[in-house]
Structure 1
Amino acid sequence: MARTERPSRTNTADRRRRLSQNFLADPGAARHVVRVAGVGPRDLVVEVGPGEGAITRHLAPAARRVLAYEIDPRLAERLAERYRDPARGVRVTRADFTRVRPPREDFALVGNIPYARTADIVRWCLAAPHLTCATLVTQLEYARKRTGGFGRWSRLTVTTWPEWSWSLAGRIDRHRFRPVPRVDAGLLVLRRRRTPLVEPGRMGGYRRLVDLGFEGVGGSLGASLRRAHPVRRVDRALESAGIARSTPVGFVAPGQWLELFAVLDG
């Protein structure tokens, strides 16, 4: 009979690096993630990259149903076996999450996501029509970048701000993961606004304004806006939003962009 060889530690380590796997090893931190997500007994929850099930363990009793997507075949099989009883309300699927179709009903999303796939997963979230809230464990630097933590605001955050709020709900020390990553994690929360801050029919104009500002040749936001709007109107909009004429685009907060749009598109 042929002997089935167990995967070596080297192979396991290589797979973890390739899949960007850092498992949450602290039960308290896992509980905190679920608590921040605010999952309730009526909620459908999609979990991204459940890994060894640290967060799943706390999601399952809190939610109505959990759809867990794991790309690693060994981990997916192991977790599916643990939750084989349908009464536990967890369905585990081996899949690349970014290629999965979102549910056709309201749902929340939770995940200790692979750092290397953060941009793809966030893009999936923003495009999912029935997603209400996403609670993501990401690199701390990424979470701070998207939430103005460095005193600067990213183009993605500003563009989506009328429809989504972005917030940093805490920091998770890197030593609470196995293997230990090089950096601490941040708990990023994306929440769809019940009432958009810009009317849906005007979102195209708002996005064009943001594009104009961020695609400037250089210098200030005001200089970029003056390429398409009268000088006096731009100056009035900057004053109304409390933005100095020499302010670089990255230092303009989302709320100030809304005021700019109200004046320039009003």
Structure 2
Amino acid sequence: MSRSLPPHARTSNNRKKLSQNFLADTRTADLMIRHSGIGADDLVVEIGPGDGMLTRRLLGVAGQVLAYELDRHYADRLRRRYADDRRIRCYHSDFRTVSAPREPFAVVANIPFAGTTEIVRWCLSAGQLTSATLLVQAEFARKHTGDYGRWTKLAITQWPTVALELGPRVDRTRFRPIPRVDAAILHLRSRPQPLLPAASLPDYHRLVDLGFSGIGGSLAASLSRARPARIVRKACTSAGISLDAPVGVVGPDQWLVLFTELGRARHR
């Protein structure tokens, strides 16, 4: 189901400038809401609501919605539409400059493709985030969830506290204007029980930084720059990591075993 788009040139130019591809399919919007798992007690942040395809559905299930729209035309339109609804606040602002809520909250959004990395990093840095259900470029979602058989530093770094999961693919024809690539749902889920103690996370992050330094040609070689090669070899064997394996093919569960084994060796 497509909606009619504003005909005036100013809004059209804004869409291009702000990388706006509005969701124009009700089934995909409903799918997003189902995947988010939000309920009546939840505070939800929506990024770039545009004409409100997701917004009106969020208001049907969430307790409160904070909507941040960079395009003044659509921000004003949403404010007028929901002027009498206390459950929603609409802001004309750049989401990337917004402070995260101090209470638990979820994010549900069809985000501008050009700002995907910044928005994902904002979500991951928000201490009270419970989950984020984001409609992003399919390639981005697959890249950061290991779907290509490789893992990114971003995913590995966050894995002890946040799971990055690939959701359904969304055909590009579900948007207006139609983008050049398909999209997919990327789900970030904060773990109620982290896989590592909070006190261990700085050491884990330093290990990941070292492993992704790209020096040595393999993960084992990179780690051996700062750890005894014998201990690195033993830890890699325990984690099922080939000594010549490049860092990208090492999965998050293997990283956790590797970190644990190297920690044990250090304290012997």
Length-normalised TM-score, structure 1:
0.95
Provide the alpha-carbon RMSD of the alignment.
1.2
Partner of 1:190: 188
Report if aligned partners of 2:11, 2:73 keep a CA contact under 8 Å in 1: no
Does the alignment pair 1:18 with 2:17? yes
Q: Describe the superposition over 1:216-260 as per-residue Cα deviations: whole angstroms up to 9, x where unpaired.
A: 324111111111111221111111111111100000001100000
Does the alignment pair 1:159 with 2:157? yes
Partner of 2:203: 205
Q: Which amino acid aligns with 1:43?
A: D
Does the alignment pair 1:179 with 2:177? yes
Partner of 1:65: 64
CA distance in structure 2 between the partners assigned to 1:11 and 1:84 by the alignment: 24
Count of residue pairs brought into register by the alignment: 259
Q: Describe the superposition over 1:39-83 as per-residue Cα deviations: whole angstroms up to 9, x where unpaired.
A: 100001010110000001110010001110101000001111111
Q: Which amino acid aligns with 2:43?
A: L
Displacement of 1:14 in angstroms is 2.1
Q: Which amino acid aligns with 1:129?
A: G
Q: Which amino acid aligns with 2:92?
A: R
Q: Mapping of 1:26-175 within 5 angstroms?
A: 26-87=25-86, 89-175=87-173
CA distance in structure 2 between the partners assigned to 1:182 and 1:117 by the alignment: 16
CA distance in structure 1 between the partners assigned to 2:88 and 2:10 by the alignment: 29
Q: Describe the superposition over 1:125-170 as per-residue Cα deviations: whole angstroms up to 9, x where unpaired.
A: 1111111100101100000111001111000110111010000111
Displacement of 1:198 in angstroms is 1.1
Displacement of 1:123 in angstroms is 1.3
Q: Describe the superposition over 1:66-118 as per-residue Cα deviations: whole angstroms up to 9, x where unpaired.
A: 1101010000011111111125x111111100111111110111110011111
CA distance in structure 1 between the partners assigned to 2:7 and 2:26 by the alignment: 27
CA distance in structure 2 between the partners assigned to 1:180 and 1:145 by the alignment: 22
Partner of 1:3: none
CA distance in structure 1 between the partners assigned to 2:29 and 2:214 by the alignment: 42
Partner of 1:222: 220
Displacement of 1:15 in angstroms is 1.4
Query: 1:67 aligns to what SS in structure 2?
Result: strand
CA distance in structure 2 between the partners assigned to 1:113 and 1:11 by the alignment: 21
CA distance in structure 2 between the partners assigned to 1:245 and 1:218 by the alignment: 11
Length-normalised TM-score, structure 2:
0.94
CA distance in structure 2 between the partners assigned to 1:200 and 1:227 by the alignment: 26
How many percent of aligned residue pairs carry the same amino acid? Answer: 53
Displacement of 1:13 in angstroms is 2.7
Q: Describe the superposition over 1:193-236 as per-residue Cα deviations: whole angstroms up to 9, x where unpaired.
A: 11111111111110111111100324111111111111221111
Of 233, 239, 248, the residue aligned with 2:237 is: 239
Q: Which amino acid aligns with 2:175?
A: F
Gaps of 5+ in 1: 1-6
